[in-house]
Amino acid sequence: MSTADRIERERQAKRALILEAARELFLERGYEAVTLREIAQRIEHSTTAVYVHFKDKRDLMEQMVAEDFAVFAAALQTAAEVKPARARLGKLGVAYVEFALRLPRHYQLLFLTPQPADARRNPVDRGTPGIDGFDLLVATVEEAMADGVFRPELRDARAIAQAIWAAVHGLVSLFIILGDVPHFEWRSPETLLEVLMGSLMRGLSADGAGLPPLPRKAPAASPPAASPPKANRQTSRGRGTRTAR
């Protein structure tokens, strides 16, 4: 490995440490309360080291969110080519749950944390990976409509997509926030997803047939090490609601 390659690898490793420390602190105390100095102290680096990678706290947050949304969109793309659209809806649900429970801190930051008041731009504006994930769901619903899957009176594809999103978001949010509640025996995420999506689709579909069997690959719940403050658990203010138009 050349000296330049080694330096770049070390630079990227340090940047990743900064982002992970920032993510943990934002979830523990909220974006507004955290300083770059505290982020640097978490990884035993100087504040100057943080400024090497990010202009300020807003820049750090925006880059983190954009990168996390890119990972989220890539996870959904694993189901993008599934045919027909009815089966794809189920696979998208599985991919969503797998992402959320594999990377719970990422999910909390994206969908369970209020957007910073001083954000220079909305990180989920159209054309970014975050909204692309929702657009994939809308396109799948529209394709299913064309296939005659939904009841004829249900003509608003975005409303159907938002209802599906809200249902699955609620499921994974419970596992992330309450998955370690003592003396409460949760059924597996894949079992609950199958019941949830099957029931939802039976109510929405023209033939009442629900969905094909879902692949049972969702991992066990893995709650984050530190729970977010109560304000961060209010999904009505989270990013998930801000992308819906």
| Residuewise pLDDT in 10s, the chain (245 residues) | 788 888 889 999 999 999 999 999 999 999 999 999 999 999 999 999 999 999 999 999 999 999 999 999 899 988 999 999 999 999 999 999 999 999 999 999 999 988 776 655 554 443 454 567 889 999 999 999 999 999 999 999 999 999 999 999 999 999 999 988 888 999 999 999 999 999 999 999 999 888 888 776 544 444 444 444 444 433 333 444 333 33
The answer, yes or no, to whether the previous bond of 84 is cis (omega within 30 of 0) is yes
Q: Which pLDDT value is given to residue 118?
A: 61
The pLDDT of residue 24 is 95
Alpha-carbon span 27 to 51, nearest angstrom: 21
Give pLDDT, residue 113.
Answer: 86
Domains of the chain: 1-54 (1.10.10.60), 61-242 (1.10.357.10)
| pLDDT value of residue 123 | 45
pTM strictly above 0.75: yes
pLDDT at 120: 53
User: Across the strands, what pairs with 150?
Assistant: 205
Count CB neighbours of 100 within 10 A.
29
Cα(152)–Cα(215) distance, integer angstroms? 28
